[in-house]
Amino acid sequence: MISEHPRVRFAPSPTGYLHVGGLRTALYNYLFAKNNNGKFILRIEDTDRNRYVEGAVENLIAALKWVGLEYEEGPDKGGNYGPYMQSERLDIYKKYAQELVAQKKAYYCFCTPERLSQVRDEQQKQGLQPKYDKHCLSLSAEEIEEKLKNNVPYVIRMNIEPDMKIAFEDVIRGSVEFDSNIIDDQVLIKSDGYPTYHLANVVDDHLMKITHVIRGEEWLSSTPKHVLLYDFFGWEKPVFAHLPLLLNPDRSKLSKRQGDVAVEDYRAKGYLKDALVNFVALLGWNAGDDKEYYELEEMVEKFSLERVNKSGAVFNIEKLNWLNAEHLRKKPDEELLSMLKDELEVSKYKGKIFSDKYLLLVIEAMKERVSFVKEYIEKSPYFFEAPEEYDQDVIKKRWKEGSAENILKLAEKFSALQDPVKEDYETALRQTAEELGIGTGKLIHPVRLAVSGVGGGPGLFDILYIIGKDETISRLKRAAEKIKI
């Protein structure tokens, strides 16, 4: 049963960037919250001081903002359950750890790193699973007090009883059971006074009234420890949902080595946020039909945890590219215009003036032929400058003896036209071909090469109309001079 107003959180550790796996976790939490009229919360889990990265939190927030996953509570937003940065909640974790110590559910451990590694070596030699041997559990109250007084470094550990079954229900994986014998007496407070992930995560999920924990499968093996902690504290457990692993096409775990994993990288490469979000949503979820194209609102409507798969989801970049093209095509021309202008500003045509009317014509001609905004420029540079070079293969195939003279003749014909539209160019070309006694193809192909430098692209007369009469004539003349066979 879903409580009336679920509260879910995305709880990343700031590692420097938002991983696509993190984006998927954030997205599923967001979709679940919105679908159930609940709240989506951002909590930063920054208690591992060795992994601190300057600017990481800002990067994460910027990436979430870019993709449009707005959270109701978070470090930069506030809320009734803050602070939302774990490093600002250290006293809270200490207090709860002490509570468990008082109830003998946790204990001080003063073992030195040397002793711990000796124990581990010994266990490994005997073929046992390395585990803390509960050495400090038998310290007397006096011994503990003495050591604390002398500032002997310590950690606080969970006291996990052997031979227990720890079972819980996972929405995605069904019943899950762990044997307590394989679980180490987990450190809750580290020697630097910071909590471990496990303690901070459980305390915060409880205090922040989180109802559903939706996170990656890599956390499944931590969940029995969390379940025990909830029991130790006597707290109600949230519902757990562990999302399937993300895999490379060779079914290995998604890694940097086989492609980009940072959301920022995809943004920099020109992917649309709508396409990326759509793609990531399909990594482990479908609505039960064959539909693949989704806008965010529709996903919110259709999403359910019950339809998340448990088998790993393969990250298929071709599908992302396809979705990018689909989303791009659905954009209104005005939006494409503003994106194209931004793209021109970072291209070699920066500073060159093109009117909105002109660019809208380019968009209309190229819309069905591009998958990325930058392809408007890469695939049809001839809309932004006259060709400097001409494709050699096309020359070989299409440029014949007499082509130069023919297109000059056509240029002459064009120069007599008054404000020509597309059809006027076509009529003039057909007439010229007739007058020259050649097939229209003998003109069309050389003209295309002359004005664009290449052999393919949108309709020739569209190109001529867009670049205009003067530019067309000048390009024809230039090509007649430059192209040699």
Q: Provide the strand spans (E) within 199-263.
A: 212-216, 239-243, 246-247
Q: Do residues 280 and 274 lie in contact, with contact meaning Cβ atoms separated by under 8 Å?
A: no
First-to-last C-alpha distance (Å) of the chain: 77
For ligand GLU, which is the closer residue by CB, 199 or 340?
199
Token pair, residue 45, equals 């889990």
CA distance 154 to 194: 12
* 256 carries an active-site annotation: yes
Q: Which stretch binds ligand GLU (CB under 6 A): 6-14, 168-176, 183-191, 469-477?
A: 6-14
* Nearest distance in Å: CB 19, ligand GLU: 9
Q: Do residues 319 and 294 lie in contact, with contact meaning Cβ atoms separated by under 8 Å?
A: no
CA distance 420 to 425: 7
Q: According to the binding rule CB under 6 A, does residue 45 interact with ligand GLU?
A: yes
For ligand GLU, which is the closer residue by CB, 88 or 145?
88
Nearest by Cα to 11 from 152, 197, 164: 197
* Nearest distance in Å: CB 12, ligand GLU: 5
Q: Hey, which residues between 168 and 197 contact ligand GLU (CB under 6 A)?
A: 197
* Nearest distance in Å: CB 26, ligand GLU: 10
* Nearest distance in Å: CB 106, ligand GLU: 20
Q: According to the binding rule CB under 6 A, does residue 13 interact with ligand GLU?
A: yes
CA distance 235 to 232: 8
Nearest by Cα to 38 from 277, 244, 300: 300
Contacting ligand GLU (CB under 6 A), which of 36, 186, 196, 201?
201
Q: Which stretch binds ligand GLU (CB under 6 A): 9-17, 115-123, 246-254, 460-468?
A: 9-17
CA distance 108 to 157: 6
Q: Which stretch binds ligand GLU (CB under 6 A): 8-16, 169-177, 253-261, 282-290?
A: 8-16
CA distance 156 to 167: 24
Phi then psi for 254, rounded to 5 degrees?
Answer: -55, 125
Nearest by Cα to 438 from 468, 385, 400: 400
* Nearest distance in Å: CB 11, ligand GLU: 4
For ligand GLU, which is the closer residue by CB, 13 or 316?
13
For ligand GLU, which is the closer residue by CB, 39 or 302?
39
CA distance 446 to 401: 11
For ligand GLU, which is the closer residue by CB, 30 or 197?
197
For ligand GLU, which is the closer residue by CB, 18 or 407?
18
* Nearest distance in Å: CB 213, ligand GLU: 6
Cis peptide bond N-terminal to 162, omega within 30: no
Number of chain positions touching ligand GLU (CB under 6 A): 8
Token pair, residue 391, equals 């494709």
Q: Which stretch binds ligand GLU (CB under 6 A): 5-13, 77-85, 313-321, 325-333?
A: 5-13
Q: Which stretch binds ligand GLU (CB under 6 A): 11-19, 228-236, 403-411, 416-424?
A: 11-19
Phi then psi for 313, rounded to 5 degrees?
Answer: -110, 125
Q: According to the binding rule CB under 6 A, does residue 324 interact with ligand GLU?
A: no
* Nearest distance in Å: CB 51, ligand GLU: 10
Token pair, residue 237, equals 């457990």
For ligand GLU, which is the closer residue by CB, 247 or 463?
247
Q: Which stretch binds ligand GLU (CB under 6 A): 10-18, 54-62, 173-181, 235-243?
A: 10-18
Nearest by Cα to 173 from 229, 240, 106, 267: 240
Contacting ligand GLU (CB under 6 A), which of 8, 11, 26, 454?
11
Q: How far is CA 229 from CA 135, 186, 205, in A?
A: 21, 10, 12
CB atoms within 10 A of CB 395: 18
Q: Hey, which residues between 78 and 117 contact ligand GLU (CB under 6 A)?
A: none
Q: Do residues 477 and 411 lie in contact, with contact meaning Cβ atoms separated by under 8 Å?
A: yes
Contacting ligand GLU (CB under 6 A), which of 6, 12, 453, 457?
12
For ligand GLU, which is the closer residue by CB, 157 or 215?
215
* Nearest distance in Å: CB 313, ligand GLU: 17
* Nearest distance in Å: CB 215, ligand GLU: 3
Residue 442 C-beta-side C-alpha neighbours within 13 Å? 17
CA distance 281 to 68: 14
Catalytic residue from among 256, 269, 330, 341: 256
Helix 20-35, helix 273-281: angle, nearest 10:
80
For ligand GLU, which is the closer residue by CB, 73 or 343?
73
Which residues would be at the binding site for ligand GLU (CB under 6 A)? Answer: 11-13, 45, 197, 201, 215, 219
Catalytic center residues: 256
